[in-house]
Structure 1
Protein backbone atom coordinates (compact mmCIF):
# COMPACT_ATOMS: atom_id res chain seq x y z
CA UNK A 1 0.00 0.00 0.00
CA UNK A 2 1.37 3.39 -0.93
CA UNK A 3 1.81 6.27 1.50
CA UNK A 4 -1.11 8.12 -0.13
CA UNK A 5 -3.41 5.15 0.35
CA UNK A 6 -2.45 4.72 3.98
CA UNK A 7 -3.07 8.42 4.59
CA UNK A 8 -6.57 8.21 3.13
CA UNK A 9 -5.57 9.91 -0.13
CA UNK A 10 -6.50 9.00 -3.70
CA UNK A 11 -3.92 7.57 -6.11
CA UNK A 12 -3.23 9.81 -9.10
CA UNK A 13 -3.69 6.96 -11.60
CA UNK A 14 -7.38 6.62 -10.76
CA UNK A 15 -8.20 9.96 -12.40
CA UNK A 16 -7.12 8.57 -15.78
CA UNK A 17 -9.95 6.09 -15.69
CA UNK A 18 -12.65 8.51 -14.55
CA UNK A 19 -15.20 7.73 -17.25
CA UNK A 20 -17.24 10.87 -16.54
CA UNK A 21 -14.19 13.10 -16.83
CA UNK A 22 -13.10 11.38 -20.04
CA UNK A 23 -16.59 11.78 -21.49
CA UNK A 24 -16.66 15.50 -20.68
CA UNK A 25 -13.19 15.93 -22.16
CA UNK A 26 -14.18 14.22 -25.41
CA UNK A 27 -17.31 16.33 -25.58
CA UNK A 28 -15.30 19.55 -25.17
CA UNK A 29 -12.79 18.44 -27.78
CA UNK A 30 -15.53 17.62 -30.28
CA UNK A 31 -17.28 21.01 -29.87
CA UNK A 32 -16.65 23.59 -32.60
CA UNK A 33 -14.36 26.45 -31.59
CA UNK A 34 -17.19 28.98 -32.13
CA UNK A 35 -19.37 27.18 -29.59
CA UNK A 36 -16.52 27.08 -27.08
CA UNK A 37 -15.89 30.80 -27.55
CA UNK A 38 -19.57 31.70 -27.11
CA UNK A 39 -19.74 29.65 -23.90
CA UNK A 40 -16.62 31.34 -22.57
CA UNK A 41 -18.06 34.76 -23.42
CA UNK A 42 -21.34 33.95 -21.66
CA UNK A 43 -19.51 32.77 -18.53
CA UNK A 44 -17.30 35.85 -18.55
CA UNK A 45 -20.33 38.12 -18.88
CA UNK A 46 -22.08 36.31 -16.02
CA UNK A 47 -19.07 36.77 -13.76
CA UNK A 48 -18.89 40.43 -14.75
CA UNK A 49 -22.54 40.99 -13.83
CA UNK A 50 -22.03 39.42 -10.41
CA UNK A 51 -19.12 41.74 -9.73
CA UNK A 52 -21.08 44.85 -10.66
CA UNK A 53 -22.05 47.11 -7.84
CA UNK A 54 -25.56 46.33 -6.72
CA UNK A 55 -28.01 49.20 -7.08
CA UNK A 56 -29.00 50.90 -3.87
CA UNK A 57 -32.33 49.61 -2.64
CA UNK A 58 -35.07 52.19 -2.34
CA UNK A 59 -35.86 52.99 1.28
CA UNK A 60 -39.58 53.21 2.02
CA UNK A 61 -38.87 56.39 4.00
CA UNK A 62 -37.68 58.04 0.76
CA UNK A 63 -41.14 57.70 -0.80
CA UNK A 64 -42.78 61.01 0.06
CA UNK A 65 -46.44 60.51 -0.78
CA UNK A 66 -47.37 64.05 0.26
CA UNK A 67 -44.99 65.62 -2.27
CA UNK A 68 -45.33 62.74 -4.74
CA UNK A 69 -41.56 62.30 -4.84
CA UNK A 70 -39.02 59.50 -4.42
CA UNK A 71 -36.15 61.29 -2.65
CA UNK A 72 -33.62 58.48 -3.18
CA UNK A 73 -32.62 59.72 -6.64
CA UNK A 74 -31.45 62.99 -5.13
CA UNK A 75 -28.43 61.14 -3.68
CA UNK A 76 -27.55 58.95 -6.68
CA UNK A 77 -24.70 59.99 -8.95
CA UNK A 78 -24.62 58.98 -12.60
CA UNK A 79 -23.11 55.55 -11.97
CA UNK A 80 -25.62 54.68 -9.23
CA UNK A 81 -28.54 55.81 -11.38
CA UNK A 82 -27.34 53.62 -14.25
CA UNK A 83 -26.85 50.70 -11.84
CA UNK A 84 -30.35 51.11 -10.43
CA UNK A 85 -32.03 51.41 -13.84
CA UNK A 86 -30.14 48.35 -15.09
CA UNK A 87 -31.06 46.41 -11.95
CA UNK A 88 -34.74 47.04 -12.75
CA UNK A 89 -34.11 45.87 -16.32
CA UNK A 90 -32.57 42.68 -14.92
CA UNK A 91 -35.54 42.20 -12.57
CA UNK A 92 -38.09 42.51 -15.39
CA UNK A 93 -36.03 40.43 -17.82
CA UNK A 94 -35.48 37.23 -15.87
CA UNK A 95 -36.31 35.18 -18.96
CA UNK A 96 -33.57 36.89 -20.99
CA UNK A 97 -30.03 35.62 -21.44
CA UNK A 98 -27.04 37.53 -20.09
CA UNK A 99 -26.19 38.76 -23.58
CA UNK A 100 -29.77 39.95 -24.22
CA UNK A 101 -29.80 41.77 -20.89
CA UNK A 102 -26.49 43.46 -21.65
CA UNK A 103 -28.03 44.91 -24.82
CA UNK A 104 -30.75 46.54 -22.70
CA UNK A 105 -28.48 48.20 -20.15
CA UNK A 106 -27.92 51.96 -20.35
CA UNK A 107 -24.21 52.88 -20.23
CA UNK A 108 -23.16 54.89 -17.17
CA UNK A 109 -21.42 57.37 -19.49
CA UNK A 110 -24.82 58.49 -20.80
CA UNK A 111 -26.11 59.60 -17.36
CA UNK A 112 -25.29 63.12 -16.18
CA UNK A 113 -24.57 63.59 -12.46
CA UNK A 114 -27.10 65.93 -10.87
CA UNK A 115 -26.37 65.39 -7.17
CA UNK A 116 -25.36 69.05 -6.87
CA UNK A 117 -29.12 69.80 -6.92
CA UNK A 118 -30.20 69.19 -3.33
CA UNK A 119 -33.80 70.44 -3.31
CA UNK A 120 -36.82 68.10 -3.60
CA UNK A 121 -37.47 67.12 -7.22
CA UNK A 122 -41.03 68.37 -7.41
CA UNK A 123 -42.70 69.75 -10.54
CA UNK A 124 -42.67 73.33 -9.21
CA UNK A 125 -38.85 73.20 -8.93
CA UNK A 126 -38.26 71.60 -12.33
CA UNK A 127 -37.62 74.90 -14.13
CA UNK A 128 -34.94 75.93 -11.64
CA UNK A 129 -33.39 72.45 -11.89
CA UNK A 130 -33.22 72.68 -15.68
CA UNK A 131 -31.68 76.14 -15.54
CA UNK A 132 -29.08 74.87 -13.08
CA UNK A 133 -28.24 71.47 -14.58
CA UNK A 134 -28.82 71.68 -18.33
CA UNK A 135 -26.20 72.47 -20.93
CA UNK A 136 -28.55 74.89 -22.66
CA UNK A 137 -32.09 76.21 -22.14
CA UNK A 138 -31.80 79.10 -24.57
CA UNK A 139 -34.38 79.36 -27.38
CA UNK A 140 -33.74 77.08 -30.34
CA UNK A 141 -33.22 78.52 -33.86
CA UNK A 142 -36.28 79.00 -36.06
CA UNK A 143 -35.02 76.17 -38.27
CA UNK A 144 -35.08 73.24 -38.21
CA UNK A 145 -38.58 73.07 -36.80
CA UNK A 146 -39.67 70.41 -34.33
CA UNK A 147 -36.16 70.20 -32.87
CA UNK A 148 -36.19 70.88 -29.10
CA UNK A 149 -33.00 71.22 -27.08
CA UNK A 150 -34.68 69.31 -24.22
CA UNK A 151 -36.93 66.26 -24.29
CA UNK A 152 -38.68 65.40 -21.02
CA UNK A 153 -39.99 61.84 -20.60
CA UNK A 154 -42.87 61.25 -18.18
CA UNK A 155 -44.84 58.25 -16.97
CA UNK A 156 -48.25 59.36 -18.26
CA UNK A 157 -50.10 61.96 -20.28
CA UNK A 158 -51.60 63.47 -17.12
CA UNK A 159 -48.14 63.88 -15.60
CA UNK A 160 -46.83 65.34 -18.88
CA UNK A 161 -49.61 67.94 -18.85
CA UNK A 162 -48.65 68.93 -15.29
CA UNK A 163 -45.00 69.26 -16.34
CA UNK A 164 -45.95 71.45 -19.32
CA UNK A 165 -47.91 73.81 -17.09
CA UNK A 166 -45.04 73.95 -14.61
CA UNK A 167 -42.51 74.83 -17.33
CA UNK A 168 -44.66 77.52 -18.89
CA UNK A 169 -45.07 79.29 -15.54
CA UNK A 170 -41.66 78.50 -14.06
CA UNK A 171 -39.18 79.07 -16.90
CA UNK A 172 -39.86 82.83 -17.28
CA UNK A 173 -38.99 83.19 -13.57
CA UNK A 174 -35.61 81.64 -14.43
CA UNK A 175 -34.97 84.19 -17.14
CA UNK A 176 -36.10 81.99 -20.05
CA UNK A 177 -38.35 84.28 -22.06
CA UNK A 178 -41.23 82.91 -24.15
CA UNK A 179 -40.32 79.21 -23.85
CA UNK A 180 -41.85 77.01 -26.55
CA UNK A 181 -43.13 73.90 -24.74
CA UNK A 182 -44.56 71.08 -26.85
CA UNK A 183 -47.14 68.58 -25.62
CA UNK A 184 -46.00 65.27 -27.07
CA UNK A 185 -48.22 62.71 -25.40
CA UNK A 186 -51.25 60.67 -26.37
CA UNK A 187 -53.96 62.14 -24.15
CA UNK A 188 -56.59 63.66 -26.51
CA UNK A 189 -53.94 64.18 -29.22
CA UNK A 190 -53.46 62.18 -32.41
CA UNK A 191 -50.04 61.39 -33.83
CA UNK A 192 -50.99 63.00 -37.16
CA UNK A 193 -51.91 66.29 -35.45
CA UNK A 194 -48.65 66.36 -33.51
CA UNK A 195 -46.66 65.54 -36.66
CA UNK A 196 -48.29 68.46 -38.48
CA UNK A 197 -47.52 70.79 -35.58
CA UNK A 198 -43.88 69.70 -35.30
CA UNK A 199 -43.32 70.17 -39.03
CA UNK A 200 -44.23 73.84 -38.90
CA UNK A 201 -43.32 75.11 -35.42
CA UNK A 202 -40.04 75.49 -33.57
CA UNK A 203 -39.81 73.96 -30.09
CA UNK A 204 -37.54 74.39 -27.06
CA UNK A 205 -38.94 71.72 -24.73
CA UNK A 206 -40.77 68.57 -25.81
CA UNK A 207 -42.70 66.77 -23.05
CA UNK A 208 -44.20 63.34 -23.54
CA UNK A 209 -44.44 59.64 -22.85
CA UNK A 210 -41.90 57.10 -24.19
CA UNK A 211 -44.10 55.44 -26.81
CA UNK A 212 -45.47 58.69 -28.26
CA UNK A 213 -42.03 60.32 -28.37
CA UNK A 214 -40.69 57.23 -30.14
CA UNK A 215 -43.53 57.35 -32.67
CA UNK A 216 -42.80 61.01 -33.46
CA UNK A 217 -39.11 60.22 -33.97
CA UNK A 218 -40.09 57.36 -36.29
CA UNK A 219 -42.24 59.79 -38.27
CA UNK A 220 -39.20 62.09 -38.66
CA UNK A 221 -41.34 64.89 -37.20
CA UNK A 222 -39.45 65.14 -33.90
CA UNK A 223 -35.83 66.04 -34.62
CA UNK A 224 -32.68 65.67 -32.51
CA UNK A 225 -30.82 68.39 -34.45
CA UNK A 226 -30.75 70.76 -31.44
CA UNK A 227 -30.95 68.16 -28.69
CA UNK A 228 -28.77 68.79 -25.62
CA UNK A 229 -30.47 66.60 -22.99
CA UNK A 230 -33.17 64.01 -22.38
CA UNK A 231 -34.68 64.48 -18.92
CA UNK A 232 -36.36 61.48 -17.29
CA UNK A 233 -39.04 62.34 -14.73
CA UNK A 234 -37.90 59.51 -12.48
CA UNK A 235 -38.54 60.94 -8.98
CA UNK A 236 -42.28 61.41 -9.48
CA UNK A 237 -44.48 58.77 -7.82
CA UNK A 238 -48.24 58.29 -8.07
CA UNK A 239 -50.72 57.58 -5.28
CA UNK A 240 -49.57 53.94 -5.22
CA UNK A 241 -45.96 55.11 -4.76
CA UNK A 242 -44.98 53.95 -8.23
CA UNK A 243 -42.60 55.78 -10.53
CA UNK A 244 -41.70 55.39 -14.19
CA UNK A 245 -39.30 52.52 -13.33
CA UNK A 246 -41.76 50.62 -11.15
CA UNK A 247 -44.11 49.27 -13.83
CA UNK A 248 -42.66 46.62 -16.15
CA UNK A 249 -44.36 47.70 -19.38
CA UNK A 250 -43.58 51.37 -18.82
CA UNK A 251 -39.99 50.64 -17.79
CA UNK A 252 -39.44 48.57 -20.94
CA UNK A 253 -40.88 51.35 -23.13
CA UNK A 254 -38.56 53.87 -21.48
CA UNK A 255 -35.44 51.72 -21.95
CA UNK A 256 -36.32 51.02 -25.57
CA UNK A 257 -36.70 54.77 -26.12
CA UNK A 258 -33.44 55.73 -24.39
CA UNK A 259 -31.43 53.14 -26.32
CA UNK A 260 -32.52 54.43 -29.71
CA UNK A 261 -29.81 55.04 -32.29
CA UNK A 262 -30.92 58.70 -32.32
CA UNK A 263 -29.30 59.08 -28.90
CA UNK A 264 -26.45 56.59 -28.74
CA UNK A 265 -24.51 57.58 -31.82
CA UNK A 266 -25.19 54.82 -34.30
CA UNK A 267 -26.32 55.65 -37.79
CA UNK A 268 -26.73 58.92 -39.62
CA UNK A 269 -27.58 61.88 -37.40
CA UNK A 270 -27.15 59.96 -34.14
CA UNK A 271 -25.70 61.54 -30.99
CA UNK A 272 -22.85 59.92 -29.07
CA UNK A 273 -24.94 60.06 -25.90
CA UNK A 274 -22.30 61.06 -23.32
CA UNK A 275 -24.12 62.64 -20.33
CA UNK A 276 -27.22 63.05 -22.49
CA UNK A 277 -29.64 61.59 -19.93
CA UNK A 278 -30.58 63.65 -16.90
CA UNK A 279 -32.69 61.92 -14.26
CA UNK A 280 -34.87 64.32 -12.28
Structure 2
Protein backbone atom coordinates (compact mmCIF):
# COMPACT_ATOMS: atom_id res chain seq x y z
CA UNK A 1 0.00 0.00 0.00
CA UNK A 2 1.40 3.42 -0.97
CA UNK A 3 1.89 6.36 1.40
CA UNK A 4 -0.89 8.21 -0.51
CA UNK A 5 -3.39 5.36 0.04
CA UNK A 6 -2.53 5.30 3.77
CA UNK A 7 -3.06 9.06 4.05
CA UNK A 8 -6.31 9.05 2.07
CA UNK A 9 -8.04 5.74 2.65
CA UNK A 10 -11.06 4.93 0.45
CA UNK A 11 -14.21 5.75 2.39
CA UNK A 12 -16.23 2.72 3.38
CA UNK A 13 -19.47 2.18 1.46
CA UNK A 14 -22.55 3.19 3.46
CA UNK A 15 -24.27 0.31 5.15
CA UNK A 16 -27.53 -0.73 3.57
CA UNK A 17 -30.52 -0.12 5.77
CA UNK A 18 -31.72 -3.26 7.40
CA UNK A 19 -35.11 -4.44 6.22
CA UNK A 20 -35.53 -6.41 9.41
CA UNK A 21 -38.89 -5.80 10.99
CA UNK A 22 -39.09 -4.71 14.59
CA UNK A 23 -40.56 -7.19 17.00
CA UNK A 24 -43.32 -6.65 19.51
CA UNK A 25 -41.60 -6.42 22.91
CA UNK A 26 -44.32 -8.49 24.57
CA UNK A 27 -45.03 -11.23 22.04
CA UNK A 28 -41.80 -11.24 20.08
CA UNK A 29 -43.81 -11.26 16.84
CA UNK A 30 -42.61 -9.22 13.93
CA UNK A 31 -44.46 -5.93 13.48
CA UNK A 32 -45.85 -5.15 10.04
CA UNK A 33 -45.43 -1.58 8.89
CA UNK A 34 -48.79 0.15 8.42
CA UNK A 35 -49.80 1.13 4.93
CA UNK A 36 -52.01 4.09 4.05
CA UNK A 37 -54.93 1.68 3.74
CA UNK A 38 -54.36 0.37 7.27
CA UNK A 39 -54.36 3.91 8.59
CA UNK A 40 -57.69 4.59 6.87
CA UNK A 41 -59.07 1.37 8.34
CA UNK A 42 -58.71 2.84 11.81
CA UNK A 43 -61.46 5.33 10.96
CA UNK A 44 -63.97 2.74 9.75
CA UNK A 45 -66.76 1.90 12.16
CA UNK A 46 -68.49 -1.09 10.60
CA UNK A 47 -71.04 -1.40 13.38
CA UNK A 48 -72.23 2.17 12.80
CA UNK A 49 -71.56 2.00 9.05
CA UNK A 50 -69.50 5.19 9.17
CA UNK A 51 -66.12 6.32 7.88
CA UNK A 52 -65.14 8.81 10.58
CA UNK A 53 -62.33 10.30 8.49
CA UNK A 54 -64.69 12.33 6.29
CA UNK A 55 -65.67 14.49 9.25
CA UNK A 56 -62.04 15.18 10.16
CA UNK A 57 -60.50 16.37 6.89
CA UNK A 58 -60.64 20.00 5.80
CA UNK A 59 -61.84 21.36 2.45
CA UNK A 60 -58.40 21.23 0.86
CA UNK A 61 -57.86 17.57 1.75
CA UNK A 62 -61.39 16.67 0.74
CA UNK A 63 -60.98 18.29 -2.69
CA UNK A 64 -57.68 16.44 -3.11
CA UNK A 65 -59.35 13.18 -2.05
CA UNK A 66 -62.05 13.67 -4.68
CA UNK A 67 -59.48 14.43 -7.39
CA UNK A 68 -57.53 11.25 -6.58
CA UNK A 69 -60.68 9.14 -6.72
CA UNK A 70 -61.67 10.63 -10.08
CA UNK A 71 -58.24 9.89 -11.54
CA UNK A 72 -58.24 6.40 -10.12
CA UNK A 73 -61.57 5.48 -11.68
CA UNK A 74 -61.56 7.77 -14.72
CA UNK A 75 -58.75 6.04 -16.62
CA UNK A 76 -60.77 6.22 -19.84
CA UNK A 77 -60.96 10.03 -19.69
CA UNK A 78 -58.55 12.58 -21.13
CA UNK A 79 -56.65 14.99 -18.84
CA UNK A 80 -58.98 17.79 -19.95
CA UNK A 81 -62.08 15.72 -19.15
CA UNK A 82 -60.65 14.81 -15.76
CA UNK A 83 -59.87 18.43 -14.93
CA UNK A 84 -63.48 19.39 -15.66
CA UNK A 85 -64.56 17.05 -12.86
CA UNK A 86 -62.32 18.68 -10.26
CA UNK A 87 -64.00 20.34 -7.29
CA UNK A 88 -62.22 23.37 -5.87
CA UNK A 89 -61.83 23.55 -2.07
CA UNK A 90 -63.67 26.89 -2.25
CA UNK A 91 -66.78 25.07 -3.52
CA UNK A 92 -67.06 22.92 -0.39
CA UNK A 93 -68.84 24.16 2.71
CA UNK A 94 -66.79 23.48 5.85
CA UNK A 95 -68.75 21.12 8.12
CA UNK A 96 -66.01 20.40 10.67
CA UNK A 97 -67.96 22.34 13.30
CA UNK A 98 -70.50 19.50 13.41
CA UNK A 99 -69.03 17.28 16.10
CA UNK A 100 -71.57 14.47 16.33
CA UNK A 101 -71.25 11.14 14.51
CA UNK A 102 -72.27 11.21 10.84
CA UNK A 103 -75.00 8.63 11.40
CA UNK A 104 -78.58 8.88 10.13
CA UNK A 105 -79.86 9.62 13.62
CA UNK A 106 -77.90 12.87 13.47
CA UNK A 107 -78.67 13.82 9.86
CA UNK A 108 -81.57 16.17 10.73
CA UNK A 109 -79.40 17.99 13.27
CA UNK A 110 -76.62 18.22 10.68
CA UNK A 111 -79.00 19.80 8.16
CA UNK A 112 -80.33 22.23 10.76
CA UNK A 113 -76.83 23.42 11.61
CA UNK A 114 -76.29 24.56 8.02
CA UNK A 115 -79.82 25.56 7.06
CA UNK A 116 -82.81 27.34 8.59
CA UNK A 117 -84.73 24.54 10.41
CA UNK A 118 -88.05 26.17 9.61
CA UNK A 119 -87.32 26.34 5.88
CA UNK A 120 -86.35 22.66 5.79
CA UNK A 121 -90.00 21.90 6.47
CA UNK A 122 -91.18 24.11 3.60
CA UNK A 123 -91.17 23.57 -0.14
CA UNK A 124 -90.78 25.96 -3.09
CA UNK A 125 -94.04 26.75 -4.88
CA UNK A 126 -92.87 25.16 -8.12
CA UNK A 127 -93.47 21.40 -8.21
CA UNK A 128 -90.39 19.20 -8.41
CA UNK A 129 -88.03 22.01 -7.44
CA UNK A 130 -86.38 21.07 -4.10
CA UNK A 131 -84.21 23.31 -1.96
CA UNK A 132 -82.17 20.33 -0.69
CA UNK A 133 -80.84 17.31 -2.57
CA UNK A 134 -79.23 14.45 -0.66
CA UNK A 135 -77.09 12.27 -2.91
CA UNK A 136 -76.28 8.71 -1.90
CA UNK A 137 -74.92 5.49 -3.38
CA UNK A 138 -77.86 3.08 -3.60
CA UNK A 139 -81.62 2.71 -3.39
CA UNK A 140 -81.76 0.95 -0.03
CA UNK A 141 -79.57 3.61 1.55
CA UNK A 142 -81.70 6.33 -0.04
CA UNK A 143 -84.83 4.77 1.49
CA UNK A 144 -83.16 4.85 4.92
CA UNK A 145 -82.25 8.52 4.46
CA UNK A 146 -85.81 9.37 3.45
CA UNK A 147 -87.06 7.85 6.71
CA UNK A 148 -84.50 9.83 8.70
CA UNK A 149 -85.71 13.17 7.27
CA UNK A 150 -89.42 12.31 7.23
CA UNK A 151 -89.95 14.84 10.04
CA UNK A 152 -89.79 17.61 7.42
CA UNK A 153 -92.63 16.18 5.33
CA UNK A 154 -96.04 17.86 5.41
CA UNK A 155 -99.08 17.85 3.17
CA UNK A 156 -97.44 20.66 1.17
CA UNK A 157 -93.91 19.33 1.28
CA UNK A 158 -93.06 15.85 0.01
CA UNK A 159 -89.72 14.21 0.77
CA UNK A 160 -89.09 12.67 -2.64
CA UNK A 161 -87.46 9.28 -3.27
CA UNK A 162 -85.46 9.56 -6.47
CA UNK A 163 -83.58 6.31 -6.97
CA UNK A 164 -83.66 3.38 -9.34
CA UNK A 165 -84.34 0.39 -7.10
CA UNK A 166 -88.02 -0.59 -7.46
CA UNK A 167 -88.94 2.88 -8.77
CA UNK A 168 -89.20 3.50 -12.51
CA UNK A 169 -88.13 6.80 -14.05
CA UNK A 170 -91.72 7.40 -15.15
CA UNK A 171 -92.94 7.08 -11.56
CA UNK A 172 -90.34 9.57 -10.34
CA UNK A 173 -91.30 11.99 -13.11
CA UNK A 174 -94.96 11.77 -12.13
CA UNK A 175 -94.13 12.36 -8.46
CA UNK A 176 -92.10 15.47 -9.21
CA UNK A 177 -94.70 16.85 -11.61
CA UNK A 178 -97.55 16.63 -9.11
CA UNK A 179 -95.82 17.38 -5.78
CA UNK A 180 -94.12 20.29 -4.12
CA UNK A 181 -90.82 18.95 -2.87
CA UNK A 182 -88.50 20.53 -0.33
CA UNK A 183 -86.07 17.67 0.18
CA UNK A 184 -85.26 14.98 -2.37
CA UNK A 185 -83.03 11.95 -1.89
CA UNK A 186 -81.52 10.12 -4.82
CA UNK A 187 -78.68 8.40 -6.58
CA UNK A 188 -76.49 10.33 -9.06
CA UNK A 189 -77.58 8.56 -12.26
CA UNK A 190 -81.30 8.84 -11.46
CA UNK A 191 -80.95 12.51 -10.52
CA UNK A 192 -79.16 13.20 -13.80
CA UNK A 193 -81.89 11.40 -15.79
CA UNK A 194 -84.64 13.38 -14.06
CA UNK A 195 -82.94 16.69 -14.82
CA UNK A 196 -82.61 15.63 -18.46
CA UNK A 197 -86.35 14.81 -18.46
CA UNK A 198 -87.05 18.33 -17.09
CA UNK A 199 -88.93 16.76 -14.18
CA UNK A 200 -86.33 17.67 -11.55
CA UNK A 201 -85.83 21.43 -11.53
CA UNK A 202 -82.73 23.02 -10.00
CA UNK A 203 -83.81 26.68 -9.91
CA UNK A 204 -84.57 26.69 -6.17
CA UNK A 205 -81.75 24.39 -5.09
CA UNK A 206 -79.86 25.75 -2.07
CA UNK A 207 -77.76 22.78 -0.97
CA UNK A 208 -76.29 19.51 -2.18
CA UNK A 209 -75.64 17.04 0.62
CA UNK A 210 -73.30 14.18 -0.24
CA UNK A 211 -73.79 11.04 1.86
CA UNK A 212 -70.01 10.60 2.07
CA UNK A 213 -69.43 9.02 5.49
CA UNK A 214 -71.64 5.98 5.02
CA UNK A 215 -69.93 2.64 4.31
CA UNK A 216 -71.39 -0.78 3.54
CA UNK A 217 -70.34 -4.15 4.97
CA UNK A 218 -67.51 -4.27 2.43
CA UNK A 219 -66.17 -0.99 3.85
CA UNK A 220 -67.08 0.95 0.70
CA UNK A 221 -68.59 4.40 0.52
CA UNK A 222 -70.01 6.38 -2.40
CA UNK A 223 -66.51 7.56 -3.35
CA UNK A 224 -64.94 4.09 -3.21
CA UNK A 225 -66.67 2.49 -6.22
CA UNK A 226 -66.37 3.50 -9.87
CA UNK A 227 -70.08 2.93 -10.51
CA UNK A 228 -70.99 5.56 -7.90
CA UNK A 229 -67.94 7.85 -7.79
CA UNK A 230 -67.87 8.79 -11.46
CA UNK A 231 -71.61 9.64 -11.72
CA UNK A 232 -71.26 11.59 -8.46
CA UNK A 233 -68.26 13.50 -9.82
CA UNK A 234 -70.16 14.42 -12.99
CA UNK A 235 -73.18 15.49 -10.92
CA UNK A 236 -71.19 17.74 -8.57
CA UNK A 237 -69.27 19.28 -11.48
CA UNK A 238 -72.33 20.36 -13.47
CA UNK A 239 -71.48 23.81 -14.93
CA UNK A 240 -74.53 25.48 -13.35
CA UNK A 241 -73.48 24.09 -9.96
CA UNK A 242 -69.88 25.26 -10.27
CA UNK A 243 -71.08 28.78 -10.99
CA UNK A 244 -73.31 28.81 -7.94
CA UNK A 245 -70.85 27.28 -5.44
CA UNK A 246 -69.09 30.67 -5.39
CA UNK A 247 -72.10 32.89 -6.14
CA UNK A 248 -72.59 35.34 -3.27
CA UNK A 249 -76.13 36.33 -4.30
CA UNK A 250 -77.60 32.85 -4.85
CA UNK A 251 -75.10 30.43 -3.31
CA UNK A 252 -75.29 26.65 -3.52
CA UNK A 253 -73.89 24.80 -0.51
CA UNK A 254 -71.91 21.63 -1.15
CA UNK A 255 -72.02 19.67 2.11
CA UNK A 256 -70.32 16.36 2.82
CA UNK A 257 -72.17 14.45 5.55
TM-score normalized by the length of structure 1: 0.71
Change (3 A) 1:251 1:204: same
Structure 2 partner of 1:260: 238
Give, in whole Å, the separation in 2 of the partners of 1:91 and 1:184. Answer: 28
Give, in whole Å, the separation in 2 of the partners of 1:162 and 1:209. Answer: 13
1:160 positional shift: 0.1
Change (3 A) 1:208 1:104: same
Q: CA RMSD in A?
A: 2.2
- Is 1:125 the counterpart of 2:106? The answer is yes
Give the 3-state SS of the residue equivalent to 1:230 in structure 2.
strand
Structure with the larger helix share: 1
Unaligned runs of 5+ in 2: 1-35, 247-251
How many residues align? The count is: 214
Runs of at least 4 residues of structure 1 off by over 3 A? 94-98, 176-179
Change (3 A) 1:84 1:158: same
1:178 positional shift: 7.5
Contact 2:134/2:185 (CA < 8 Å) preserved in 1? yes
Give the 3-state SS of the residue equivalent to 2:209 in structure 1.
strand
- Is 1:279 the counterpart of 2:256? The answer is yes
Structure 2 partner of 1:18: none
Give, in whole Å, the separation in 1 of the partners of 2:173 and 2:158. Answer: 16
Given the alignment, which residue of 180, 185, 189 partners 1:211? 189
* Per-residue deviation, residues 211-234 of structure 1 (Å, max 9, x unmatched): 001111111111112111000000
TM-score normalized by the length of structure 2: 0.77
Give the 3-state SS of the residue equivalent to 1:199 in structure 2.
helix
1:138 positional shift: 4.6
- Is 1:232 the counterpart of 2:203? The answer is no
Give, in whole Å, the separation in 2 of the partners of 1:257 and 1:98. Answer: 18
Give, in whole Å, the separation in 1 of the partners of 2:76 and 2:193. Answer: 27
Contact 2:142/2:161 (CA < 8 Å) preserved in 1? yes
Unaligned runs of 5+ in 1: 1-55, 266-271
Q: Map 1:1-280 onto structure 2 (within 5 A).
A: 59-94=40-75, 96-134=77-115, 137-141=120-124, 143-169=125-151, 171=152, 180-265=158-243, 272-274=244-246, 276-280=253-257
